[in-house]
Amino acid sequence: MSEQAPVSATITASTITPIHKDILVYDMFFGEQVTKAGLILLGDDKTDRGIHPRWARVYAVGPEDQSGLKAEEWVLIEHGRWSREMEVTDGTKTFIIRKVDPKCVLLKYDGELDPEKACLLGK
């Protein structure tokens, strides 16, 4: 039996295309948030205190997606309803892409958003 060399490939933005109803996101925010009332929602610290929805920017949607989401919109996703990260490069920068469960997108926002200040339900 011959040994195969390990496969080494660079994942580039041009080679990533979602299939079916998949939604791919990037810029997912895992930091601390402060509500308008001054409550501090802690970041993802692996305890129940860090469990809350996360904002992410849509990278691409699959051809069967019926949600009406478009690339560059911000979406709020139920806690933990995303895949592990995948590092992708577009030639000038490297970023992280994750797949999210389409049924767990709570809302969308198509303007500019500062996830640190948006805190769950709007600016």
- List, for residues 11-69, the tens digit of each pLDDT value: 666 777 888 888 999 988 766 666 667 766 665 555 555 567 888 899 999 999 888 89
Fold of 13-112: 10 Kd Chaperonin, Protein Cpn10; Chain O (2.30.33)
The residue extents of the domains of the chain are 13-112
Higher-confidence position of 39 and 122: 39
Residue type, 95: F
pTM of the model: 0.70
User: What spatial distance separates the first Cα and last Cα of the chain, rounded to whole Å?
Assistant: 60
